[in-house]
Chain A
Amino acid sequence: MNGYPLRIPAIKAIWTGSRVTMQNSIAAAERSDNDLAKDAAGGRVSAFRVLVERYQKRAYLYARSMVHNSDDAYDLSQEAFVRVYRHLKKFDPAYPFRVWLFHILSNLCKNHLRQRKTRDAVVIGAGEQEIEAVSPTDNPDIVFHKSETQAQVWEAIGQLPDKFREIIILSHFQDMPYDQIAKVLDIPRGSVMSRLYYARLKLREILEKKGVSL
Chain B
Amino acid sequence: MKCDDIRILLSALVDNELDGEQKKAVSDHLVGCDGCREEYAKMRNLKEVTDDMKYFDLPDRLMAGYWNGIYNRIERSAGWIFLSIGAILLLAFGAWELLNQFFLDSRPPLILKLGVGVLLIGVIILTVSVLRERLFARAHDRYEEIEI
Contacts and interface: CB of A to CB of B under 8 A. Distances in A.
Interface residues of B, number: 40
A150 B11 contact: no
A1 B74 CA distance: 12
Interface stretch (A11-19, A25-33, A120-128, A189-197): A189-197
A45 interface: yes
Nearest to A203: B46
B67 interface: yes
Contacts of A87: 148
Interface in B49-82: 49-58, 63, 66-71, 73-75, 77-78
B70 A111 contact: no
B142 A111 contact: yes
B52 A150 contact: yes
A142 B12 contact: no
B29 interface: no
Interface string B28-63: 000000000000001101100111111111100001
Interface string A44-84: 01000100110011101100000000000010001101110
Contacts of A144: 53-56
A86 B143 CA distance: 14
A81 B11 contact: no
Contact of B147 (A107, A150, A154, A214): A107
B137 interface: no
A178 B70 contact: no
B78 A172 contact: no
A81 B73 CA distance: 10
Given A107-B147, A193-B12, A153 B49 contact: yes
B126 to A, nearest CB: 30
A197 B8 contact: yes
B66 to A, nearest CB: 5
Contact of B17 (A56, A143, A149, A177): A177
A3 B17 contact: no
Given A108-B143, A197-B7, A178 B12 contact: yes
Contacts of A49: 67, 71
6 contacts: A2-B68, A57-B55, A78-B69, A87-B148, A153-B46, A171-B15
Interface of B: 7-12, 15, 17, 42-43, 45-46, 49-58, 63, 66-71, 73-75, 77-78, 142-143, 145-148
Given A74-B66, A86-B74, A111-B145, 14 more contacts: A57-B57, A83-B148, A104-B146, A142-B58, A144-B54, A145-B53, A150-B52, A153-B49, A172-B53, A173-B54, A173-B55, A193-B12, A204-B42, A204-B46
